[in-house]
Amino acid sequence: MPVRCLSGVSSPRISGADADHVRALAGLDVPLPPVVVHRATMRVLDGVHRVQAAVLRGESEVEVHYFDGGEDEAFILAVQLNSAHGKPLSFADRAAAAERIIASHPHWSDRRIAAVTYMAPKTVAALRRRSTEDEARLNKRVGMDGRERPVNPAERRLLAADLLAKDPEAPLRRIAQQVGISLATASDVRQRMLQGRDVLPPRLQQNGAVVGAGRGEAEQREHAGDGWEHRAGLPISAPDVPAVLESLRRDPSMRLSEPGRSLLRLLSIHPSEAAEWQQLVRGVPPHRATLMARVARGYAEAWLQVARSLEQDL
């Protein structure tokens, strides 16, 4: 291919070709490897140093391999080829390339972009957060194996749990398709619910996994760890009881088991305000006050035993 037919370069190198590297290649007494050219634009994707070295040698032609595809795909190939051999791309080159790929392929996973740019997935994730505002609207990303996965697996698990709570006998395959998770994940959610465990594994409860689902602070606190007040060693004050009880009612793992439903029914009949308790007390006839107090203390002791048993399991 005549060098004059090449229309330019489509390179991820911000600073362009390195003159010292060009001179080193020109001084080699061996044929240089073919350059890769985008057929549609005739731009050099890989081999700009080799082209300039050939010109420096006084050669007018270079051997080429053509790439057929769109410009975005051509750029991705250029990043891969320039990262894999020859003069390595600088960190700035690779970061700029990653940002461009994030913009052109927002559905690609961080790991997939990292594999192309030879960067750490966490670095790509940081670049994504800095470079785009559209990422939150994407429900799924495509990984290196070509499979789609949900961006926020915690939110998908919670949705699956809600569906299973409403219809415990629903086929897992249908739940998985509705929510956009794997059959294995749907099965894990159901098993966790039946065992009374949190539907979110520890890894999804950390670092604000539920926060990414778009919940408000109070709701995140309720769903990401009901009973957080006890774990912190803090008592639940009377005004907090209705909110905590409501979060328990919404928890599928409570609603799905018979013991859980029984406890919720017992808790639901209790007054939540001090004024309501006082009204009940005033309704007790004086000659029955002692007996009623004994019954109340008995039930109070039973609830205290329940609380102690639960706290021992934490």
Cα–Cα distance measured from residue 312 to residue 2, given in angstroms and rounded to the nearest whole number? 80
Cβ-contact 54, 28 below 8 angstroms: no
Residues 135 and 24 in one domain: yes
Report the DSSP beta bridge partners of residue 46. Answer: 36
Instruction: Look at residues 130, 146, 162 and tell me which one is the last residue of a structural domain.
Output: 146
Q: Which two tokens stand for residue 27?
A: 């001084």
Residues 39 and 136 in one domain: yes
Cβ-contact 150, 180 below 8 angstroms: yes
Inter-CA distances, 143 with 56, 139, 196, Å: 43, 13, 32
Question: Do the domain assignments include residue 273?
Answer: no
Sort strands 64-67 and 35-38 into parallel, antiparallel or unpaired: parallel
Question: Do the domain assignments include residue 91?
Answer: yes
Residues 115 and 209 in one domain: no
pTM over 0.85: no
Burial state string for 112-142 with b = 16 or more CB within 10 A and e = fewer than 16: bbbbbbbbeeebbbebbeeeeeeeeeeeebe
Residues 25 and 141 in one domain: yes
Cα–Cα distance measured from residue 301 to residue 295, given in angstroms and rounded to the nearest whole number? 10
Cα–Cα distance measured from residue 210 to residue 224, given in angstroms and rounded to the nearest whole number? 6
Instruction: Look at residues 111, 146, 181 and tell me which one is the last residue of a structural domain.
Output: 146
Cα–Cα distance measured from residue 124 to residue 275, given in angstroms and rounded to the nearest whole number? 56
- Give me the pLDDT at residue 77, please: 83
Question: Do the domain assignments include residue 275?
Answer: no
pLDDT tens-digit readout, 220-263: 333 333 333 333 333 444 446 777 777 777 777 777 777 888 88
- Give me the pLDDT at residue 216, please: 36
Residues 254 and 185 in one domain: yes
Residues 219 and 190 in one domain: yes
Question: At which residue do the structure tokens 């305000």 appear?
Answer: 273
Residues 137 and 8 in one domain: yes
Q: Which domain holds residue 288?
A: 284-312
Cβ-contact 260, 268 below 8 angstroms: no
Question: Do the domain assignments include residue 160?
Answer: yes
Number of domains in the chain: 3
Instruction: Look at residues 146, 181, 196 and tell me which one is the last residue of a structural domain.
Output: 146
Question: Do the domain assignments include residue 277?
Answer: no
Residues 157 and 135 in one domain: no
Question: Do the domain assignments include residue 198?
Answer: yes
Cα–Cα distance measured from residue 268 to residue 277, given in angstroms and rounded to the nearest whole number? 14
Cα–Cα distance measured from residue 33 to residue 157, given in angstroms and rounded to the nearest whole number? 51
**In tens digits, what is the pLDDT along the chain, a chain of 314 residues?**
888 888 777 777 777 777 888 888 888 888 888 889 998 888 888 888 888 888 888 888 888 889 898 888 888 888 878 776 667 777 888 888 888 888 888 778 888 888 888 888 888 888 887 765 444 444 555 554 555 555 567 777 888 888 888 888 888 888 887 777 788 888 888 888 888 788 888 777 654 444 333 333 333 333 333 333 333 333 444 446 777 777 777 777 777 777 888 888 888 787 767 777 888 888 888 888 888 888 888 888 888 888 777 766 54
Q: Quick one: which H or E segment has residue 44?
A: strand 43-46
Cβ-contact 194, 256 below 8 angstroms: yes
Residues 184 and 259 in one domain: yes
Question: Do the domain assignments include residue 274?
Answer: no
Cα–Cα distance measured from residue 153 to residue 149, given in angstroms and rounded to the nearest whole number? 8
Residues 196 and 261 in one domain: yes
Cα–Cα distance measured from residue 253 to residue 66, given in angstroms and rounded to the nearest whole number? 58
Question: Do the domain assignments include residue 181?
Answer: yes
Residues 56 and 110 in one domain: yes
Cβ-contact 108, 114 below 8 angstroms: no
SS3 per-residue string spanning 259-274: HHHHHHHHHHCCCCCH
Residues 134 and 9 in one domain: yes
